[in-house]
Amino acid sequence: MDTFYQILLPGLVAPLALSLVLATLTLRLHWQGAWGVALIWLISYFWLRGLPSLPPREAADWLWLIGLATLAAAVIPYVSRWRWLWLSGLLAVYLAVIAWPVMRHDGSVMLFVEFVVVVAAGAASIQRLIDGQATAFDALTMAIVSAGYAVVAALGGSLLVGLLSGALAAALGGYALYELMPRRKATLLPVRAALLASIWLLCLMFIGCVYAGLPLGTLALLLAALVLNRVLPVRGLGQAVMIAGIPTVSALAWLVLTQDSSSYY
Amino acid sequence: MKSISTHSMLSTLLVAVAIGLATPAHAESAAPGKYKIDPAHSTVEFSVSHLGISHLVGRFDTFEGDLNLTPNGKSDVSVTIQTASVDTNHQKRNEHLRSPDFFNSKQFPVMRFVSRKVSYNAAGEPVHVDGDLELHGVTKPVTLAVKPVGAGKDPWGGYRIGYTATSTLKRSDFGMNFMPGGIGDDIALTLQIEAIKQ
């Protein structure tokens, strides 16, 4: 029963249920706010972690502030040609803040490489969103990558990071299910919600790499799943699932094959 | 009668030798001075409840510390422990303990105890050490219950002292509150310390 109330309820059941309600409301009322997805994930975040420290002490303590900052930044009017640079720069600042405690006393070349890889992937993945062009399968592909990363993180080093990523997948679940329906025209997921979910997922991946020792190779596969769906012209559901699914499953398989499988829980 | 007297003398002598051998060779009090903890003959262990069913025991393999024993009762102790050296006899669990879920060793690589006050009993032996423990970025007061084990010269010309120190703390007090149901909040610490006079 403890497992249900401490893990499954906040990490999966509650965000998925709320996401289904939110997606239905979006469909019926044509609501385009990103606050709904943000709120669902933040409910899980505070439920799993408790109230965060102020000032933030650990990397995950920054995530709710990053969310608020991103939403605020997304509504600031700016010249469109600088929009991508501005938000990519903001992502770099987020990752630098996350990595700062480690950079202070153990700044290594690998840390710098991980930083550059995630910033580059992030910049590539958000470009289309900034132009207002969410792909038709944004929620589904992000849900696949988030869910895959949730398992990778939980198996590979940090159950908490895995739960937060799983909650993100569940928060997108309602919209992802809509994208599976035939004969629907476009994604229901608001562009700003896709942007926010992308930023959170990138930050969670970076935390897993820097603090939980997840291998860069595994991270690179998951980032590829996220980026390719945004960069390549995706023409159908099957193509979207394959582009997201193959690298995600590969990352999972790589981790499972290289990890010690004995249980210690 | 002479043989009985010799027999009783021999018996008395044997008993005296036995008592002499049984008496600890290093029953003296620790001499004042500066000491360095000898990690090769010291251990830092902890135990925590698992599912409320049993206690899991772990240790930290890398630590160092100094003791400064003064005749005026103002001794001080400091111990620094590398959190990444945690060892619970299971590699995956050790990695999990180093992760952000628990010690977050990348961000908080050390935990440190620095004493503020040492309390003594009527015999002049330390019984409590009050100090501050910095763990997981949080500093809280902690009291160690101390028991002297022994003190004296070693076969290599040095002088050593030994203590056992114990304490219980709550991991949630230090911001480590993940999985409160499966893993207990109370952590029992036991330090077996041997230190060499500098």
pLDDT digits (tens, 9 = 90+) for B34-50: 999 999 999 999 999 99
pLDDT value at residue B146: 95
pLDDT value at residue B48: 94
Residue B16 lies in a domain: no
Model confidence at A134, pLDDT cuts 50, 70, 90, reads low
Residue A263 lies in a domain: no
User: Bigger pLDDT: A135 or B88?
Assistant: B88
Contact criterion met (CB < 8 Å) for A264 and B107: no
Residue (of B101, B122, B98) closest to B110 by Cα position:
B98
pLDDT tens digit sequence for A209-226: 999 989 888 999 999 999
CA A19/CA A13 separation, integer angstroms: 10
User: Bigger pLDDT: B31 or B114?
Assistant: B114
Ramachandran angles phi, psi of A209, nearest 5°: -70, -50
CA A41/CA A32 separation, integer angstroms: 17
User: Bigger pLDDT: A94 or B123?
Assistant: A94
Ramachandran angles phi, psi of B94, nearest 5°: -60, -45
Using an 8 Å CB-CB cutoff, list chain B residues near A50. 177
Cβ A38 vs Cβ A71: under 8 Å: yes
Model confidence at A136, pLDDT cuts 50, 70, 90, reads confident
| Structural domain that includes position A222 | 2-258
| Structural domain that includes position B74 | 29-197
Cis peptide before A55 (omega within 30 of 0): yes
Cβ B165 vs Cβ B145: under 8 Å: yes
Residue B51 lies in a domain: yes
Model confidence at B180, pLDDT cuts 50, 70, 90, reads low
Cβ A40 vs Cβ A22: under 8 Å: yes
Residue A145 lies in a domain: yes
Return the half-sphere exposure (C-beta side, CA atoms, 13 A cut-off) of residue A193.
33
Total number of domains constituting chain A = 1
**Range name among A29-43, A244-258, B100-114 with the lowest pLDDT average:** A29-43
Contact criterion met (CB < 8 Å) for A213 and B91: no
Residue B2 lies in a domain: no
Total number of domains constituting chain B = 1
Using an 8 Å CB-CB cutoff, list chain B residues near A162. none
- Looking at residues B90-108, what average pLDDT do you find? 93
pLDDT value at residue A260: 65
pLDDT of B90 higher than 60: yes
Residue A17 lies in a domain: yes
Residue A6 lies in a domain: yes
Model confidence at B1, pLDDT cuts 50, 70, 90, reads very low
Instruction: Name the one residue in this structure whose structure tokens are 């503020």.
Output: B116
User: Bigger pLDDT: A188 or A238?
Assistant: A238
- The minimum CA-CA distance between A174 and chain B, rounded to whole Å, is 28
Cβ A98 vs Cβ A122: under 8 Å: no
Residue B180 lies in a domain: yes
Residue B8 lies in a domain: no
ipTM attached to this prediction: 0.85
- Test the A interface: residue of B56, B89, B99 with most A CBs within 10 Å: B99
Contact criterion met (CB < 8 Å) for B95 and A207: no
Residue A264 lies in a domain: no
- Test the B interface: residue of A104, A105, A160, A256 with most B CBs within 10 Å: A160
CA B49/CA B72 separation, integer angstroms: 40
pLDDT of A27 higher than 90: no
Strands B54-60 and B86-87: antiparallel
Residue A237 lies in a domain: yes
Contact criterion met (CB < 8 Å) for B100 and A101: no
**CATH number reported for the structural domain that contains residue B161 in this entry:** 2.40.128.110
pLDDT tens digit sequence for A48-66: 988 888 889 899 999 999 9
pLDDT value at residue B18: 44
Residue B102 lies in a domain: yes
pLDDT value at residue A185: 65
Model confidence at B17, pLDDT cuts 50, 70, 90, reads very low
Name the pTM for this structure: 0.86
Mean residue pLDDT across chain A: 87
Model confidence at A190, pLDDT cuts 50, 70, 90, reads confident
pLDDT of A45 higher than 70: yes
pLDDT of A264 higher than 70: no
pLDDT value at residue A3: 74
Ramachandran angles phi, psi of A55, nearest 5°: -70, 160
pLDDT value at residue B6: 57
Please, what is the angle between helix A159-171 and helix A138-156, to 10°? 170
